[in-house]
A and B are shown apart, each in its own frame.
Chain A
């Protein structure tokens, strides 16, 4: 006789309860970046919209950045650390294959009852995590989830590579996701395209570097035009699908918060989406650079803090990057 297993039951819906972010202290101007690459402040602004970015200190780890942002989000949520059922950390720059960054983040937050794992979906990681957090809560695997997007990309880029050095930076953003009686996170639209792995990738694996590497440590490389074309043509469709699945029209949005990949991608997406002019758009890349998995929650925190978008407003979120992985959903802002 087969034993009967008791199934889990969770909350009807989930919502983002709070957001917190951490920008490292050190501001790096375009002029400083140009000390190592053949470029100019004007060219970088024109091609990316970036004016300055933040670099973490040498002794500041991915986990340090994550704990800082997650601590702020947790405090703002009113959820006690021991109530957290899961800690998800979206990152591709934690320098250890194991143990996970999430296990250490959970420990340092005092989330002693939490499961913990990392999400490796690069710039799509935050939106992947938001969908996973919502599913955990609705299925009863966790009541509260701490979701962090964090990167210390400066450890993994070649600061003399003029196609990437000016774009990437360091930072962390976090949200607490909890139960809700009303739908507050729309259905996710996600996917990946492994046929374009070379569009954004590492120059070689760590084991190849160990065995045949020579002097060049593996760093991030990117085919900018290929990524631009994919992002604008495909992500406008994915954005529209996310709106459609949530039953929300672009006109109803209080904010559009795309991954802060490049201001030119954001502008092209706005054109492709025919986004109404009254919808505020995240442009945090200007002073934060591209922080991959961290960019959406950092931008969200800033837009709420400056009053540019209202608490409880409706936002379209979309992350996209290496993999080529992407995820989008409509969510109610905390």
Chain B
């Protein structure tokens, strides 16, 4: 499941911010490694909400530092 989420996130991040799919790895930081700023992050979160039918409030978004954080959050929310 986690691998599926990671792959799905990679597609979303590629569409929103043009980051190559293969660069989206669990230990990568959205801001520092993938150069995704807060507005792009909002778009990634909205696309993830649509894809997996979860709610990710703004108050939780700021805790999602790495791709792994987001994968764990979505995995828990869909479990």
A residues engaging B (CB < 8 A)?
A: 46-47, 224-226, 228-229, 232-233, 264, 268, 271
Contacts and interface: CB of A to CB of B under 8 A. Distances in A.
Contacts of A228: 39, 42
A271 B46 contact: no
Interface in B22-65: 37-39, 42-43, 45-46, 58
Interface of B: 15-16, 37-39, 42-43, 45-46, 58
A268 B39 CA distance: 10
25 contacts: A46-B37, A47-B37, A47-B39, A224-B39, A225-B38, A225-B39, A225-B42, A225-B58, A226-B58, A228-B39, A228-B42, A229-B42, A229-B45, A229-B46, A229-B58, A232-B42, A232-B43, A232-B46, A233-B46, A264-B39, A268-B39, A268-B43, A271-B15, A271-B16, A271-B43
Nearest to A231: B42
Contacts of B42: 225, 228-229, 232
A275 to B, nearest CB: 14
A313 B27 CA distance: 50
A225 B42 CA distance: 7
A247 B35 CA distance: 40
A232 B39 CA distance: 11
Contacts of A268: 39, 43
A225 B41 CA distance: 10
Given A229-B58, A268-B43, 5 more contacts: A46-B37, A228-B39, A229-B46, A264-B39, A271-B15
